């Protein structure tokens, strides 16, 4: 909680606001320019008043060029900026790249001089850097950024009226998951760019089965600007909006371009042997045969229910478990074990996943409650025993895979808690006969411990981020490993023709994934380059043989063969380094040292920034200081976790929204989110920083009272009464509205009742009444009211919140309709983090993603899929009216409409928010 406050403090520094800690309450008090707050409702006038420096930097161009050759992607990000000022200025370059990518080059060109980065051993780079730092200089760094990305940022001082060009290159082997490859390009130019371009060329000799693009920031106007040409073996995608097309609105300099540009594709897969490509002395083999039946699995879910799992994590885990159990194949066998310092099992042996058994297991799972310590050792060993015993007793199908899925959020602290001992116990008990998959939930888990333990046992570990979508993360991981197609796969190549082979034995091949093997050829005589793949499938042994031949890129891509150069070699190097880094985590210390040394050698040789190397570039000397080294490192999973742990709030997603929100609030108040309910009760959450809004209706009978805001900590409550039409209209459609509000500040002892006729304030047993028919203002010690005749009421509760209530006056003789009210939230920042209610729950920010735009019921209102709070919802593009600026006519605001009374978007159901009276405060 205090973390929330801390963040604001941090962000608003230097924004012209003054934050102080109040000595009495320990909470924060803000002294701000009240003028500025007015602007929340006013027109967007302060937008032009940017920092003068910023306007003096002109971004000439931002170009992202991505070339993919057989899954190996090579991306170059270039940015050219001009310092228009007559003094030197610091210019920033920030790039986000996928965490699975390696930076391979970085350069800056300043005043005709080029500064090129060099890949050095990390330790050496660090020494050079530390020497520089001790003389008071700074360095550029790479930081974690979200789950999938890391951020490279550097700044240099540029002389007056000079240009700077930054170029960053990174490479990555795209991994097939859920039957597709994904290219993720994150673009956040922050200002308008004269020439903006994203260019992607995909070359897949196997042929492309489909190519999809979408972007989180693409509105209907920008969507047609994405150009896509797909031919059999090549796809070309480009997106280059003009300066004006980038604008958020005709007169502002905010950019719409802000988010992820995503390309997904798959290749044609024919033949059981897969695709072998030989180019320039290296070969690569992609193996993912089509149409294999799945191998049944015997899975034991070992679930941590120690005290730390309590609350949201436990709820999300159980919710995910229920879906996962439903998804079990009827041929699968399963067991559920829960542990804290005591181990409890649902049944003593594995059970066939029949409908009845799954139903029974689901109700067992729902009964799990968090409590106690963490005995991972006994939990996992119990699962292993069950599998061994059932195997011995021949209860499990002969051809099937045995696996344990362990979910934990903490460190072992009960029973055997020495990590090497647990790893040893598990490894010897599993004896290479089963797979262990681990899910590390949250930031307190020892990722490395789980990672090593799973790798020792033919499995892998995934982090589950503590966030609203944890349920989807859990299900997603399960889906990845739920359909094994082959076991113990061996890929064999002629010994005498190949050396430096990457890993060629894999414990399992899952549906939707792909196995990649690469190697160097020692022999140019490829006449009998025989390839054989052996594995265990469902019915019989899988065994295919074939002969590979050299791919003639000149024939496949006659005009472009020159660009392919050494990609197979770099793909091979990338894969080899990745595998060496993984291997260096397990084994004896000698083996570890050996793998590490090799990985380092290759990282240097191929100029990859890996966890063992750094990119060093020397910043040129300026009047501000001498030249100094900048270093870019690669983060390890542990470092990412540490960075996240250091954040004051666990849900970093929310932090990101707040970061953006607060930073914007500091200078551009019109960009603060707005929450309101108006009309036939239409709830609206406007998120200007995303140029997006969410909306939903709440339907109920007149007389119902809903809680809108509920914050027991600060004592603020707002309830609203539903009213209906005077009589039922001819079309039979009953409209409902809010006709009254009760606003309570329990701590200050203030009660405010607002109806369509009057406003009354009750404090210390005294009542003051105001009428809508007069413009009036009331200033009290605890509450300020400002009534604008027949229009609006602005309420400021001391030290907490500002609301505006709008009066909608309907023609007196209207046959059906009557006057009603709208409720708008202006400023909520002093409410506590636990604020809730139909509107209040959104004051924390809301995380959601919308994808899959498709035709809806009516042509102008497309449907889409929204992911939020762990749910997947169908939403419809619609319009709502925002009356803040124009009480009579309002302004149309497009929004994503959530159906069924906001179901899935709001916590619980709408009826959960019904309260007995206007002044109910609990």
Ligand X SMILES: *[C@@H]1O[C@H](CO)[C@@H](O)[C@H](O)[C@H]1NC(C)=O
Interface positions with ligand X (CB under 6 A) = 60, 80, 82, 86, 105, 107, 114, 116, 161, 163, 167, 179, 219-221, 248-249, 256, 293-294, 388, 431, 433, 483, 511-512, 590-591, 594, 607, 691, 894
**Judged by CB, which is closer to ligand X: 19, or 500?**
500
Nearest to 578 by CA among 66, 122, 102: 102
**Judged by CB, which is closer to ligand X: 83, or 818?**
83
Q: At what angle do helices 376-392 and 419-430 cross, to 10 degrees?
A: 10
Q: How far apart are CA 426 and CA 421, in angstroms?
A: 9
- Helix (H) or strand (E) run with residue 485 in it: strand 484-492
Q: How far apart are CA 331 and CA 298, in angstroms?
A: 9
Q: How far apart are CA 300 and CA 826, in angstroms?
A: 51
**Judged by CB, which is closer to ligand X: 114, or 421?**
114
- Helix (H) or strand (E) run with residue 754 in it: strand 750-755
**Judged by CB, which is closer to ligand X: 382, or 869?**
382
**Judged by CB, which is closer to ligand X: 86, or 135?**
86
98: its two tokens: 């996928």
Q: How far apart are CA 626 and CA 76, in angstroms?
A: 29
Tokens 């404090």 locate to: 763
Nearest to 415 by CA among 376, 384, 447, 363: 376
Shortest CB 830 distance to ligand X, Å: 27
Q: How far apart are CA 867 and CA 318, in angstroms?
A: 19
**Judged by CB, which is closer to ligand X: 42, or 894?**
894
Shortest CB 471 distance to ligand X, Å: 21
Residue 795, classed as helix, strand or coil, is strand
**Judged by CB, which is closer to ligand X: 209, or 545?**
209
Residue number closest to ligand X, CB atom: 431
- Helix (H) or strand (E) run with residue 685 in it: strand 682-687
Shortest CB 639 distance to ligand X, Å: 26
Q: In what order do the strands lie in the sheet with 613-619?
A: 118-121, 613-619, 628-633
**Judged by CB, which is closer to ligand X: 80, or 721?**
80
Distance from CA of residue 690 to its chain's centroid?
Answer: 15
Nearest to 816 by CA among 735, 738, 727, 731: 727
**Hey, what long-range contacts does 309-315 have (CB within 8 A, 24 or more apart)?**
309/370, 309/409, 309/410, 309/441, 310/370, 310/371, 311/370, 312/466, 312/470, 313/370, 313/409, 313/441, 313/442, 313/466, 313/470, 314/368, 314/369, 314/370
Shortest CB 160 distance to ligand X, Å: 8
**Judged by CB, which is closer to ligand X: 161, or 627?**
161
**First-to-final CA distance of the chain:** 20
Shortest CB 481 distance to ligand X, Å: 12
**Judged by CB, which is closer to ligand X: 433, or 545?**
433
Shortest CB 510 distance to ligand X, Å: 9
Shortest CB 486 distance to ligand X, Å: 11
**How, if at all, do strands 628-633 and 515-521 pair?**
unpaired
Handedness of CA 897, 903, 904, 908 (dihedral sign): positive
Shortest CB 892 distance to ligand X, Å: 10
**Judged by CB, which is closer to ligand X: 593, or 758?**
593
**Judged by CB, which is closer to ligand X: 365, or 846?**
846
Is there a contact between 346 and 337 (Cβ–Cβ < 8 Å)?
yes
**How, if at all, do strands 863-868 and 692-697 pair?**
unpaired
Shortest CB 610 distance to ligand X, Å: 15
State phi, psi for 418 to the nearest 5 degrees. Answer: -80, 120
Is there a contact between 645 and 409 (Cβ–Cβ < 8 Å)?
no
Q: How far apart are CA 159 and CA 2, in angstroms?
A: 43
**Judged by CB, which is closer to ligand X: 459, or 681?**
459
Shortest CB 107 distance to ligand X, Å: 4
Shortest CB 113 distance to ligand X, Å: 12
Q: How far apart are CA 903 and CA 58, in angstroms?
A: 45
Is there a contact between 115 and 108 (Cβ–Cβ < 8 Å)?
yes
Shortest CB 431 distance to ligand X, Å: 2
Residue 727, classed as helix, strand or coil, is coil
Residue 550, classed as helix, strand or coil, is coil
Shortest CB 836 distance to ligand X, Å: 29
**Judged by CB, which is closer to ligand X: 688, or 837?**
688
Shortest CB 843 distance to ligand X, Å: 22
Shortest CB 615 distance to ligand X, Å: 10
**Judged by CB, which is closer to ligand X: 564, or 820?**
564
293 conformational bin, left if phi > 0, alpha if psi -120 to 50, beta if neither: beta
**Judged by CB, which is closer to ligand X: 6, or 431?**
431
Q: Locate the DSSP E strands across 240-290.
A: 259-267, 275-279, 282-287
Shortest CB 157 distance to ligand X, Å: 16
Q: 914 forms bridges with which residues in the sheet?
A: 706
**Judged by CB, which is closer to ligand X: 234, or 690?**
690
Shortest CB 324 distance to ligand X, Å: 15
């Amino acid at each position: 909680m205090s973390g929330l406050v801390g963040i604001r403090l941090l962000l608003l520094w230097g924004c012209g606001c003054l934050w102080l800690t109040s000595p009495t309450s320990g909470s924060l008090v803000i002294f701000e320019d009240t003028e500025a707050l007015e602007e929340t409702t006013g027109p967007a006038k302060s937008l032009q008043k940017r920092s003068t420096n910023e306007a003096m930097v002109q971004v000439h161009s931002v170009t992202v060029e991505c070339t993919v050759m057989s899954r190996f992607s090579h991306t170059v990000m270039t940015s050219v900026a001009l310092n228009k000022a007559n003094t030197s200025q610091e210019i920033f370059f920030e790039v986000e790249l996928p965490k699975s990518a390696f930076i391979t080059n970085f350069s800056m060109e300043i005043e005709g001089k080029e500064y090129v980065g060099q890949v050095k051993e990390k330790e050496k780079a660090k020494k050079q850097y530390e020497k520089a730092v001790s003389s008071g200089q700074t360095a550029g760094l790479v930081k974690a950024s979200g789950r999938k990305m890391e951020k490279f940022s550097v700044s240099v001082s540029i002389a007056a009226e000079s240009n700077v060009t930054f170029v960053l290159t990174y490479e990555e082997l795209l991994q097939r998951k859920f039957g597709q490859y994904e290219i993720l390009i994150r673009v956040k130019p922050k200002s308008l760019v004269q020439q903006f371009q994203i260019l992607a060329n995909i070359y897949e000799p196997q042929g492309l089965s489909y190519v999809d693009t979408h972007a989180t920031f693409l509105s209907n106007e920008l969507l047609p600007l994405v150009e896509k040409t797909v031919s059999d073996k090549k796809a070309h995608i480009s997106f280059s909006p003009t300066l004006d097309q980038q604008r958020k609105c005709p007169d502002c300099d905010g950019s719409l371009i802000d988010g992820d540009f995503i390309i997904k594709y798959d290749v044609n897969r024919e033949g059981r042997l897969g695709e072998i490509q030989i180019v320039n002395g290296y070969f690569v083999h992609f193996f993912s045969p089509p149409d294999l039946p799945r191998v049944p699995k015997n899975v034991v879910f070992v679930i941590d229910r120690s005290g730390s799992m309590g609350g949201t994590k436990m709820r999300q885990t159980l919710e995910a478990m229920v879906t996962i159990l439903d998804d079990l194949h009827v041929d699968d066998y399963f067991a559920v074990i829960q542990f804290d310092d005591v181990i409890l099992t649902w049944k003593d042996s594995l059970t066939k996943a029949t409908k009845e058994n799954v139903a029974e297991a689901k109700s067992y799972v729902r009964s799990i409650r968090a409590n106690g310590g963490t005995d991972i050792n006994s939990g996992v060993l119990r699962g292993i025993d069950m599998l061994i015993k059932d195997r011995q007793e021949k209860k499990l199908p002969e051809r099937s895979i045995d696996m344990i899925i362990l979910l934990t959020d903490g460190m072992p602290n009960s029973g055997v808690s020495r990590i090497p001992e647990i790893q040893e116990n598990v490894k010897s008990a599993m004896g290479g006969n089963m797979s262990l998959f681990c899910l590390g939930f949250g930031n307190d888990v020892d990722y490395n411990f789980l990672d090593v333990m799973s790798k020792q046992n033919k499995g892998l570990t995934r982090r589950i981020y503590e966030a609203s979508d944890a349920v989807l993360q859990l299900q997603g991981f399960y889906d990845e490993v739920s359909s094994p197609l082959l076991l113990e796969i061996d890929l064999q190549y002629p010994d005498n023709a190949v050396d430096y082979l990457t890993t060629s034995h894999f414990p399992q091949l899952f549906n939707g994934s792909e196995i990649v093997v690469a190697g160097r050829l020692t022999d140019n005589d490829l006449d009998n380059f025989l390839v054989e793949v052996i594995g265990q499938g469902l019915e019989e042994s899988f065994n295919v043989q074939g002969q590979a031949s050299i791919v003639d890129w000149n024939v496949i891509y006659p005009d472009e063969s020159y660009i392919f150069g050494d990609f197979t070699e770099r793909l091979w190097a990338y894969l080899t380094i990745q595998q060496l880094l993984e291997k260096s985590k397990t084994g004896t210390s000698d083996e570890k040292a050996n793998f590490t040394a090799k990985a380092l050698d290759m990282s240097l040789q191929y100029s990859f920034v890996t966890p063992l190397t750094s990119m060093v570039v020397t910043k040129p000397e300026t009047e501000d200081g001498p030249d100094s080294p900048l270093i870019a490192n690669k983060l390890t999973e542990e470092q990412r976790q540490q960075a996240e742990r250091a954040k004051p709030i666990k849900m970093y997603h929310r932090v990101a929204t707040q970061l953006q929100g607060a930073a914007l609030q500091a200078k551009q108040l019109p960009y603060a989110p707005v929450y309101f309910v108006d009309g036939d009760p239409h709830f609206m959450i406007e998120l200007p920083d995303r140029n997006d809004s969410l909306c939903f209706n709440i339907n109920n009978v007149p007389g119902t009272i809903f809680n809108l805001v509920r914050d027991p900590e600060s004592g603020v409550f707002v309830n609203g009464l539903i009213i209906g039409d005077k009589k039922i209209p001819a079309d039979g459609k009953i409209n409902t509205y809010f006709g009254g509000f009760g606003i309570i500040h329990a701590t200050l002892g203030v009660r405010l009742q607002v109806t369509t006729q009057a406003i009354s304030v009750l404090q210390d047993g005294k009542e003051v009444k105001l009428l809508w028919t007069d413009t009036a203002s009331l200033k009290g010690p605890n509450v300020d009211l400002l009534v604008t005749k027949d229009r609006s009421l602005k309420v400021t509760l001391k030290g907490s919140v500002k609301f505006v209530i709008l009066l909608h006056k309907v023609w007196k003789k209207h046959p059906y309709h009557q006057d009603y009210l709208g409720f708008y939230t202006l400023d909520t920042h002093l409410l506590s983090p636990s604020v809730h209610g139909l509107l209040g729950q959104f004051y924390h920010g809301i995380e959601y993603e919308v994808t899959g735009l498709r035709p809806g019921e009516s042509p102008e209102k497309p449907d889409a899929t929204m992911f939020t709070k762990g749910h997947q919802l169908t939403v419809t593009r619609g319009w709502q009216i925002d009356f803040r600026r124009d009480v009579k006519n309002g302004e149309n605001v497009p929004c994503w409409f959530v159906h069924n009374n906001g179901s899935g978007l709001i916590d619980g159901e709408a009826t959960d928010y019904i309260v007995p009276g206007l002044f109910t405060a609990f």
